[in-house]
Structure 1
């Protein structure tokens, strides 16, 4: 693309600054829908626990179904047009929800269909976006770039739910979703002004000459040969499974089990999401202070601690709401730290023509498992109860940290520069 990094602030890179701005707008809209969509299901359409779990599953199920093949697709085409079309379609799909509600024809099946369609487009966007970013900034600034984007996402997680809670108390939850739809439209228009890129070259797969299954194996090989990526990919399976299980019943738990109102729930999520923002802002420093291995182990222990604390919340009171906020803060803190570290490393060691497949390999596992976890959470809540589901999911969230504690990752200290050869076994120093 011909865009290179510059000394000083990364925002001196105009392409990255525009990309960051458009993503920040989209992040805010997404977080508003994060609250408004399940509340539409629970409050407006009177969803059952299983329907709530299914709704959460359909957001991420497309990664499990299509993610690997989208990775091959992305590695054979320019990434920017994919980003533009994905956001344009997400705008149109989400715009249907407030339209149908205004026409008094909104149903649960419609909500599920829209959620699935948005999920499919999210597969294309996420894999293309992670493959497009390394062309905007120098590879030695990828962690900084990802930290800025993650901080933006976390800031939206702080502001979005509170804004959603306030708006929902004035207008309806479906109407609030219109804000997210508009944010995708704005992001699509901003991406039109981004630097154009070309389809990757210099590989048989980029030219479409390689069979799809052979292409997929190349992506698996990069992940399988690297110690950090291999163990973190296994850990993220359990993180996604149990995190999505607890989040599938999170809103039902706070509203029906604990008895907290919808406006307060939005504020609780906002207060808790400050943890994600702080984690994103501190990710680089924590890796410097503690080392890569200890940082990842500690970061993955926090979700279990936070949601175990959440399971003790009881009663609609100020102290209960405060405890729920603190618990969510702890639960959300470590995930951005883990993401920034592992994503930046993965992008830095992966050749340009393999970015789509390598990102798709990990994303398909992590986001695809979110669907299974959401279904598991809904099923557990239906058979055991909401509080019991939170307790069991919180216990499961300790598994990823224990896995890394028992693996070679725990002794790793520094990320070193990696050759542009995916066959390198590891670029992590333990001294």
Structure 2
């Protein structure tokens, strides 16, 4: 049985490079869809603000439906085959949308079903992914690995919107979804080529899914660090989900900006994410992981106040600076928090604890999306954006609850303490 040792060179070895490459291609395809799918809804189905909120809710609803169970399922099986199956399922589902559009039978119900089903596959993939990365690179390399993966994800979001914009102009927005489908196939092939063999899960008496889920939830709720990080991420995601439901509609219909600006702003978000993920390891070491978290979120969220100023002319520049600055803080916080959790939690509970946290932080997204849709319907879109941006700034201060508000670094247990 091949074990991947934790050593400095592991991030340059074949297994991690394959994993990294597959995720880079898949995230690029996903970034194309973030622009293509809203444009399909607006251009092909003439969606309004509430419909866009429903779509975003459908994407995130699986976290509420199967988020908790997925972690327990992932802890019981080998992670790589599960991720491959999820990639293949997502490819087939996404390819069905452009096929239906080209045949002239695309409907809102079809898109909502695909959004929900791909969301389910994403939940299962994420549960396996959270536990697979520590196995693949070792605990000592987690910060470096997560920095590379997150940086690449953000870099993909620079290229993806541009690809989506070109496809929308030349062949129509639905073609972007076919690119995303192909990217899932590439990811599956890369995962299939990894040679590292996962250790068999230790045989333990099965207590049932509900008992295992309850155990993980208890850890998250009772632990003073995990509970605060979960509260913070949930509050931020709630606000961001509302913004995501409205931002394309706001830019196109209220600000009167073209599709190229939508792509440029999406790329700016990604560039900020690349910078934040790249600087996260250095920043965390320089000021301390706990201090980096509590300083980063509320301060960088202030940049979001520039986004509602988007208009032709200088408003575009202000919006670009706003989304880039806020995304830097979000990305840096994400790398630091995820790396801490992967090193902090017991290995046999990684999948369940990670998914219990994601159940909360992503489970609020459907509610936030619907709230965004309602605000955009009852109020004008710009006012709705202002409300959500200010709420996001306030959400950053949740990190000042509990032990994270003091001290320099987050605690990391020794291997003996984790056992």
TM-score by length of 2: 0.95
Change (3 A) 1:304 1:349: closer
Indicate the larger mover: 30-39 or 345-354. 345-354
Q: Work out whether residues 49 and 376 of structure 2, in 8 Å CA contact, stay in contact via their aligned partners in 1.
A: yes
CA distance in 2, matches of 1:53, 1:250: 11
Q: Work out whether residues 60 and 371 of structure 1, in 8 Å CA contact, stay in contact via their aligned partners in 2.
A: yes
How does 1:255-334 map onto structure 2 within 5 Å?
255-302=252-299, 304-314=301-311, 316-317=312-313, 319-334=314-329
Task: After TM superposition, give the deviation of residue 221 of structure 1 in Å.
Answer: 2.8
Task: After TM superposition, give the deviation of residue 302 of structure 1 in Å.
Answer: 4.7
Task: Write out per-residue CA displacement over residues 257-306 of structure 1, whole angstroms, 9 at most, x where no aligned residue.
Answer: 10000122112211232111100000111111222223112322256323
Q: Work out whether residues 291 and 409 of structure 2, in 8 Å CA contact, stay in contact via their aligned partners in 1.
A: no
How does 1:16-415 map onto structure 2 within 5 Å?
16-194=16-194, 195-204=196-205, 209-302=206-299, 304-314=301-311, 316-317=312-313, 319-415=314-410
Higher helix share: 2
Task: After TM superposition, give the deviation of residue 370 of structure 1 in Å.
Answer: 1.4
CA distance in 1, matches of 2:218, 2:176: 43
Task: After TM superposition, give the deviation of residue 247 of structure 1 in Å.
Answer: 1.2
Indicate the larger mover: 394-403 or 169-178. 394-403
Q: Work out whether residues 305 and 386 of structure 2, in 8 Å CA contact, stay in contact via their aligned partners in 1.
A: yes
CA distance in 2, matches of 1:201, 1:6: 21
Task: After TM superposition, give the deviation of residue 311 of structure 1 in Å.
Answer: 1.3
Task: Write out per-residue CA displacement over residues 214-233 of structure 1, whole angstroms, 9 at most, x where no aligned residue.
Answer: 21122123323432211111
Q: Work out whether residues 301 and 329 of structure 2, in 8 Å CA contact, stay in contact via their aligned partners in 1.
A: no
CA distance in 2, matches of 1:309, 1:373: 21
Indicate the larger mover: 412-421 or 11-20. 412-421
CA distance in 2, matches of 1:203, 1:240: 36
Change (3 A) 1:213 1:145: same
Q: Work out whether residues 6 and 141 of structure 2, in 8 Å CA contact, stay in contact via their aligned partners in 1.
A: no
Structure 2's unaligned 5+ residue stretches are none
CA distance in 2, matches of 1:43, 1:304: 32
CA distance in 2, matches of 1:214, 1:8: 38
Task: Write out per-residue CA displacement over residues 26-59 of structure 1, whole angstroms, 9 at most, x where no aligned residue.
Answer: 0100001111111111122111111101111111
TM-score by length of 1: 0.92
Change (3 A) 1:215 1:7: closer
CA distance in 2, matches of 1:83, 1:291: 34
CA distance in 1, matches of 2:140, 2:4: 11
SS at match of 1:3: coil
Task: After TM superposition, give the deviation of residue 5 of structure 1 in Å.
Answer: 3.8
CA distance in 1, matches of 2:356, 2:416: 18
Change (3 A) 1:79 1:340: same
CA distance in 1, matches of 2:360, 2:401: 21
User: What's the Cα RMSD here?
Assistant: 1.8
CA distance in 1, matches of 2:68, 2:36: 30
CA distance in 2, matches of 1:148, 1:179: 23
Change (3 A) 1:256 1:54: same
